[in-house]
Amino acid sequence: MADNIKRNPETPALSIAVDDGSRRVPIFNLDGDQIGEFKFHPTDIGIVNRFNEMAGEFDKIIQPLENVNIGVDGNAEDDNSAEAIAAFDDAVKRLFGAVDYIFGGNASEAFFSGMHPFSPVGDNFYCMQVLEKVSDFIGQQFNAEMQKIDTRITKHTGKYKSGKRSYK
């Protein structure tokens, strides 16, 4: 059995390796270019709650942008807009923190290192597209992992549920 242990060359010889269920997930753009990678735990029960918590706070994160007047030169047109832009920088940091909170790591760098999260893409902000894709991905992966667990449980308990009891 010890022969089946896969060792990472960076892991000390005297260590314990535990399958925590984590997976490395590459992120691609629509051209097929890899733009990042993050670590994900598909069976992390708390990830759904963390995502929903962050999604509920998203309006507060982008609130500073509501009354911003920006000129064609990219500068604020008035003092209130200048203050809002400063608050916007804080909003971006909160968004990064929220994404990292969801995944329990530095996933914001994987998603946003090549593009500002509030860049307009299509009919939405880039960060909104990312969050929609992340939401779909979390749901699909979590459901797939739960199906594996259900299959295993059914395998071991199915004969009892069906009334066919065997004591052999």
Residue range 150-164, pLDDT digits in tens: 888 888 777 666 555
Q: pTM score > 0.75 for this model?
A: no
What is the tens place of the pLDDT at every residue in 112-126?
A: 888 888 788 888 888
What is the tens place of the pLDDT at every residue in 66-107?
A: 767 766 666 667 777 777 777 777 777 877 888 888 887 788
Q: Which of 7-21, 57-71, 107-121, 131-145 has the lowest mean pLDDT?
A: 57-71
Whole-angstrom Cα distance, residue 113 to residue 109?
A: 5
Whole-angstrom Cα distance, residue 104 to residue 15?
A: 23
Task: Find how far residue 64's CA is from the centre of its chain.
Answer: 24
Instruction: Report the pLDDT value the prediction gives residue 33, as an integer from 0 to 100.
Output: 93
Please report, for the chain, the start and end positions of each structural domain, with discontinuous segments joined by +.
2-131
Contact between 141 and 81 under an 8 Å Cβ cutoff? The reply is: no
